[in-house]
């Protein structure tokens, strides 16, 4: 269908009509070291997704940060360098007994969105904000899936959309 930039002739989700292509594209991934075991599972899902869609291993750069609070600044530095087509944020914030969870999760989310807006660069959001460790495990490759993979796929889809919009003029 001419003029359909989403590649979506029947109102289906873009994933149902075409797979995003990563050949020749570069991605930066910022991964928190806090809750490292689970974040590693998110990272594996994200990098596997990027590779399965044609992004070469050499075109994926991973930066480690102490925790979720530091993710937006590292994303900003990556975006400001102009070397990446898209970025992926990976981390985990678990609810505790104090309001710390609300502050960190809200500011991380806000900061990630601000990087995408400021730089006009797709950023996949794979920072889990969970009430329990069991919820996090389920979302880091468990029965609910892998949110790292989903964040990478979202970034790939947005990079594709950006290129289609640019080509359409």
Strands (E), 37-110: 60-65, 86-94
Write the CB contacts of 134 (distance below 8 Å, at least 6 apart in sequence): none
Q: Is residue 126 situated within a structural domain?
A: yes
Q: Which residues in 41-55 are b (16+ Cβ under 10 Å) and which e? A: bbbebbbebbeebeb
Q: Is residue 149 situated within a structural domain?
A: yes
Per-residue tokens: 41? 């599972």
What are 28's strand-pairing partners?
61, 87
Q: Rounded mean pLDDT of 5-10?
A: 40
160 φψ region: left (φ > 0), alpha (ψ -120 to 50), beta (else)? alpha
Q: What is the pLDDT of residue 10?
A: 36
Q: Is residue 37 situated within a structural domain?
A: no
Q: Does the active-site annotation cover 100?
A: yes
Q: Is residue 146 situated within a structural domain?
A: yes
Q: Is residue 151 situated within a structural domain?
A: yes
**Whole-structure pTM value:** 0.89
State pLDDT tens for residues 118-147.
999 999 999 999 999 999 999 999 999 999
Q: Is residue 128 situated within a structural domain?
A: yes
Q: What is the pLDDT of residue 124?
A: 98
Q: Is residue 169 situated within a structural domain?
A: yes
Residue-number span of the structural domain to which 122 is assigned? 109-132+141-169
How far is Cα 14 from Cα 37, in angstroms, rounded to an integer?
32
Are 92 and 130 contacting, i.e. CB atoms less than 8 angstroms apart?
yes
Q: Count the domains in the chain.
A: 1
Of the residues 35, 76, 100, 163, which is catalytic?
A: 100
Q: Is residue 22 situated within a structural domain?
A: no
State pLDDT tens for residues 45-93.
999 999 999 999 999 999 999 999 999 999 999 999 999 999 999 999 9
């Amino acid at each position: 269908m001419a003029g359909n930039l989403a590649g979506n002739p029947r109102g289906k989700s873009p994933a149902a009509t075409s797979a995003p292509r990563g050949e020749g594209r570069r991605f930066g991934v910022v991964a928190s070291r806090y809750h490292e075991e689970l974040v590693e599972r998110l990272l594996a899902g994200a990098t596997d997704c990027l590779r399965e869609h044609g992004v070469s291993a050499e075109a994926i750069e991973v930066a480690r940060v102490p925790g979720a609070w530091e993710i937006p600044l590292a994303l900003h530095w990556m975006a400001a360098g102009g070397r990446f087509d898209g970025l992926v944020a990976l981390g985990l914030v678990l609810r505790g007994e104090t309001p710390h969870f609300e502050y960190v999760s809200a500011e991380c989310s806000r900061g990630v969105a601000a990087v995408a807006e400021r730089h006009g660069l797709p950023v996949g959001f794979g920072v889990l904000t969970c009430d329990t460790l069991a919820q996090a495990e389920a979302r880091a490759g468990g029965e609910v899936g892998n949110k790292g993979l989903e964040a990478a796929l979202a970034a790939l889809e947005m990079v594709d959309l950006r290129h289609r919009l640019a080509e359409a003029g």
